Amino acid sequence: MILPLLLFSFLTMATATDDESIYQILKEHGLPMGLLPKGISQFTFDNTGRFEVFLDQACNAKFESELRYDKNVSGSLSYGQIGSLSGISAQELFLWFHIKGIRVDIPSSGLIYFDVGVVFKQLSLSLFETPRDCVAVRSDHDGDVRDGKLVAQTLFKLDQETVARDVI
């Protein structure tokens, strides 16, 4: 019973080939190719819309604000949106927020919305027309994102007393 189900799941997976890329799949779903950084060669995509992309290392890409991509990014694609997103964070001022979903207005108003849990961040769709270069994240910043809060010690290299005083 389990074997046929596993076989079916395996047969519905797609990986990057010369004919199809994750960027083309985004475009087919009404999303801009630039939502993911350049250089993704491995990914999975199944018939339910679930996808996962694999990067060599975590990296940052600069848009109007900065986006951080983990080594693995996953979510569920439907036309004009990505839900259950994990692996992408956005910087606003000095804080990092996990992006939970992405939505493009239909009919298109030229805007794209990033769901960071409490609010939607609105940006111009034109910023995401093409995939961006992604610069490797330094290992001493790997712990910066924790539930939408920036670990100030890592960014500013402040001593614990100063951090405690400023946070309170």
pLDDT digits (tens, 9 = 90+) for 21-80: 999 999 999 999 999 999 897 999 999 999 999 999 999 999 888 999 999 999 999 999
Residue 22 to residues 51, 68, 79, 125: CA-CA distances in angstroms? 9, 18, 14, 18
Give the whole-angstrom CA distance, residue 85 versus residue 115.
10
Whole-number pLDDT of residue 110:
92
**Residue 107 reports pLDDT greater than 50:** yes
| CATH number of the domain located at residue range(s) 2-167 in this protein | 2.30.240
Whole-number pLDDT of residue 92:
86
Tokens representing 27 are 């475009």
Query: What is the average per-residue pLDDT within 1-9?
Result: 41
**Residue 164 reports pLDDT greater than 60:** no
Whole-number pLDDT of residue 28:
95
- Give percent of the chain above pLDDT 70: 70
Amino acid (one-letter) located at 68: R
